[in-house]
Chain A
Amino acid sequence: MAAIELRGLTKVYPGGVTALDSLDLVIPDGEFFALLGPSGCGKTTLLRTIAGLETATAGSIRIGDRDVTGLQPGARDVAMVFQDYALFPHMDVTDNIAYPLRIKKVARAVRAQKAREVGERLGLEKLMDRRPGQLSGGQQQRVALARVMATQAQAFLFDEPLSNLDARLRLEARTFLKKLQRELGVTTVFVTHDQAEALAMADRMAVMENGHIRQIGTPAEVFQRPANTFVASFIGSTPMNLLDGVVRGDTLEVAGCRVPVPETAAGRLADGEKIVYGVRPEYLSYAAEGPIAGKVVLVESLGASYLVTLEVGEDLVQVTVPEGREPELGEAGCAVPRPDRALVYRDGELV
C-alpha cells in the first residue's frame, strides 16, 4: 500500500496526440480515487501510464517511496482490472486467481490456499473449478477482482470495470467494491464514464478534459462547487443552468431578470463585469413569485421528481420540482435560487 505521485506527467502518442499534458496529481495512501471525464480525455492513458503499459513522454511517477517511471509493468507492483477482465480462458478460476503468484514462483500449495481464501471472500467458492467461459459477467468481474486482491499489490488500477454489467448488477458491484476497498485499504484509482459511480464511490475524484485535470476534490465539492464551467456542465445528472449576465451593483442581471449576488461571490465582483451565473436545477425551486420569471415550455419526468424547463427571455432555465407539484405547460412561473448554492463564474473560472 502506497501513495501515488505524478509530476509533470506527459504522454504524447506516436502520431502527435497529446493524451496527457504535464499533469500533477497526488493520491494519498489508501484513497479511493476516481477519474472522470468525457470520452477521449486521457483517463485510460493515465491509468496505463501509471501501470507502465505506456511509457511516459515526460515527467515522473512515484509509487510509495520508489520512482517507477522507467520500470517495467511487472516491477511496479500494481494490479489492474481491465474493462474486459482479461481472464485466461484456458485456466480455471483457481489458476486465474493464482496466476500472478505463479509468476512470482510461489509454491503450488500456498497459491491454491491463497486463491481459495480470496475466492471465498468474494463468494466464488462454488465456482473455483470453472473456466471463465462458464461464468456470468458479474462472476467474471469478481474473479478479476480476486486476481487483483491475491497479488497484494501497492495499488489497484480499475479501468471501467463495471461497464459490462447490467444496471442492477452494477449497483450491487459498486457497493461491494467500495466496501472491499475500505477493508483492504489499498490505494485505488478508478476510471469511469459514469459520474453517479464516481460520486458514489470515490473518496476524491478528478475531472479531466483534453489531458488536463480541471478539478480535484471530494465528490461533494465537485458537485456543489464546480471550479469552472467545464466541470459545471459535465457533472450532474441534469446539466447545470449556466446563464450569461452582468453585475449591476449588488444584484446580477441574468436573462433579463435581477437576482441577488450569491453568498459565495459576495464582495468579489466589480460593477458592470460580465459573468456567468450557475445554479443546478436541484438548487432552484419553482414558485409563483421569484426573481427569475418565465414560461413553462417542457415538463419531463425523472421518476420521483420532474424537470421543468422555463423559457426566460432568450434563455432556458431548468428546475426540478417534486412529484405532484408539477406545473402545466404554458403556465407562467418563477425559479428561486438557493443563495448558498448559486455560483458565479468569471472567464470560465469560479469566483
Chain B
Amino acid sequence: MSTDAAGLGRVRASAFVAPALILIAVFLVFPALWVVLLGVTNYRLTGLAAADPEFVGLDNFVSALTDGRFLDSTWLTVQFVLGSAVIGQAILGFTLAKVLHGRVKRFVEGLVILAWILPSAVVSFLWIALLDRDSGTLNTLLGIPGFPWLLDHPMLSIIVFNTWRGTAFSMMLYGAALGNVPPSHLESARLAGANGWQQLRDVIFPHIRGHILTNLLLISLWTFNDFTPFLLTAGGPDGKSEILAVHVYKVALQGGELGYGAAVSTVILLINLVVAVFYLRLLREQR
C-alpha cells in the first residue's frame, strides 16, 4: 500500500500541515519553552535584573520547593481539586445525571449550563453579590447579616463556587454515558436481586469507566489551573485561598519576580503532566 494516498508528494503535503504546526509552535511550544528558560534566570519585571537577567541555575526551583508559601499553596490546590472537581463536580454531576428525569432534568440542565457558559467576570460578580457580608443574598436568606463568608471560609467558598460553576460539564458527560449502558444489563442485575449500589458497581461503573476517567482528567486539569477564584478572594485572607494559579500571578506579576514565577509555573506544568499520565495509564489499562 502506498503511504502517499493523496499523491501530494512530501513538499506539498508539508505545506498543508505547516500553518497548523506554526500556530502550535508560536502559541504553545514556544511560550512553554520560554517559561522553562525564564525559570533558570533571575529575570524581573522591573529594576536591574529586568534589563540584564542572569543565569541562576536551579536556584529558583530550590527556593520554590523549600518555600512554605509555595508548599501551602500546593496543598490548598490539592484541596481545591479534590473538593471542587473530584467530589464536587464529578460526584454531583453524576448524581444529577442519574437521578433526574424528563422535564426536571431539562430544566436543571438549562440552569447548570448557564453557570458554565457565563463569563468568569460576570459569574464572580454574582457570587460576590451572593456572599457579601452586609448586603449579600445568602446572609439575608439565612438571617445572619454580617457573616463574612469569604473571610471566614475562603476555601469552602471557592470550592462551592467552582463546583457550581463546572458541574454542568460532568452532568452532560455522565448523562450521555448513562444513555449507553444497555438496559438489559441493568435488568439482568435486577433479576439477580442486585440492589442500587450493586447495580452501580457491577453494571454502570464498568460501562462508563472510560467516561469517568476522561471526565476526571479534564476537570482535574481545568481546576488545577483555574484562576477565577482570584476574582472572589484574591487569594486571601492572608494566603488562605492562594491556590497555585493565584500564587504564580502574585509572585510573578504583583511581586515582579518573573524568573521565580516561571520556575513555579514549570513545576505546575510537571504536576499537570504527572496527573495526565496517571489518568491516561488507567484509561489504557485492560478492563
Which chain B residue lies CB-closest to A80?
B191
Interface of B is mostly: helix
* Inter-chain contact A75/B202, CB cutoff 8 Å: no
Whole-angstrom distance between the alpha carbons of A90 and B190 in the complex? Answer: 18
* Inter-chain contact B193/A75, CB cutoff 8 Å: yes
Whole-angstrom distance between the alpha carbons of A78 and B192 in the complex? Answer: 9
Closest beta carbon of chain A to B120's beta carbon, Å: 40
* Inter-chain contact B203/A103, CB cutoff 8 Å: no
Convert A60-75 into 0s and 1s, putting 1 for each residue whose CB lies closer than 8 angstroms to a CB of B. Answer: 0000000000001111
- Interface stretch of the complex, out of A81-89, A113-121, A276-284, A317-325: A81-89
* Inter-chain contact A100/B202, CB cutoff 8 Å: no
Convert A31-68 into 0s and 1s, putting 1 for each residue whose CB lies closer than 8 angstroms to a CB of B. Answer: 00000000000000000000111000000000000000
Closest beta carbon of chain B to A241's beta carbon, Å: 41
* Inter-chain contact B191/A79, CB cutoff 8 Å: yes
B194 at the interface (CB under 8 A from A): yes
* Inter-chain contact B206/A74, CB cutoff 8 Å: no
A285 at the interface (CB under 8 A from B): no
* Inter-chain contact B184/A84, CB cutoff 8 Å: yes
Chain A residues within 8 Å of B182, by CB: 84, 86
Whole-angstrom distance between the alpha carbons of A3 and B219 in the complex? Answer: 54
Q: Which of A51, A74, A86, A90 contacts B194 (CB 8 A)?
A: A74
Whole-angstrom distance between the alpha carbons of A100 and B187 in the complex? Answer: 12
Q: Which of B126-175 contact A (CB under 8 A)?
A: none
* Inter-chain contact A88/B185, CB cutoff 8 Å: yes
* Inter-chain contact A103/B192, CB cutoff 8 Å: yes
A151 at the interface (CB under 8 A from B): yes
Closest beta carbon of chain A to B78's beta carbon, Å: 31
* Inter-chain contact B194/A80, CB cutoff 8 Å: no
* Inter-chain contact B193/A88, CB cutoff 8 Å: no
Which chain A residue lies CB-closest to B198?
A103
Which chain B residue lies CB-closest to A78?
B191
Total interface residues in chain A, CB < 8 Å: 22
A99 at the interface (CB under 8 A from B): yes
Total interface residues in chain B, CB < 8 Å: 17
Q: A88-B202, A90-B287 are in contact. Are A51 and B191 (CB under 8 A)?
A: yes
Which chain B residue lies CB-closest to A53?
B187
B188 at the interface (CB under 8 A from A): yes
A126 at the interface (CB under 8 A from B): no
Whole-angstrom distance between the alpha carbons of A104 and B193 in the complex? Answer: 8
Whole-angstrom distance between the alpha carbons of A74 and B182 in the complex? Answer: 18
Chain B residues within 8 Å of A73, by CB: 187, 190-191, 193
* Inter-chain contact B202/A99, CB cutoff 8 Å: yes
Chain B residues within 8 Å of A88, by CB: 185, 202-203, 206
* Inter-chain contact B202/A74, CB cutoff 8 Å: no
Whole-angstrom distance between the alpha carbons of A119 and B81 in the complex? Answer: 47
Whole-angstrom distance between the alpha carbons of A86 and B190 in the complex? Answer: 12
* Inter-chain contact A90/B206, CB cutoff 8 Å: yes
Chain A residues within 8 Å of B185, by CB: 86, 88
Give the one of A53, A79, A83 with max B CB within 10 A.
A53
Q: Which of B182-227 contact A (CB under 8 A)?
A: 182, 184-185, 187-194, 198, 202-203, 206-207
Q: List 22 A-B contacts (CB under 8 A).
A: A72-B190, A72-B193, A73-B190, A73-B191, A73-B193, A74-B193, A74-B194, A79-B191, A80-B188, A80-B191, A82-B187, A83-B184, A86-B184, A88-B203, A88-B206, A89-B206, A89-B287, A90-B206, A99-B202, A100-B192, A103-B194, A104-B193
A73-B187, A84-B182 are known; give 13 further A-B pairs, CB within 8 A: A51-B191, A53-B190, A72-B190, A79-B191, A80-B188, A82-B188, A86-B188, A89-B206, A99-B189, A100-B192, A100-B193, A103-B193, A151-B192
Chain B contact residues, CB within 8 Å of chain A: 182, 184-185, 187-194, 198, 202-203, 206-207, 287
The 10 A-B pairs at the shortest CB distance, nearest first, are namely A74-B193, A100-B192, A86-B184, A86-B188, A90-B206, A82-B184, A103-B192, A73-B190, A73-B191, A103-B193
Chain A contact residues, CB within 8 Å of chain B: 51-53, 72-75, 78-80, 82-84, 86, 88-90, 99-100, 103-104, 151
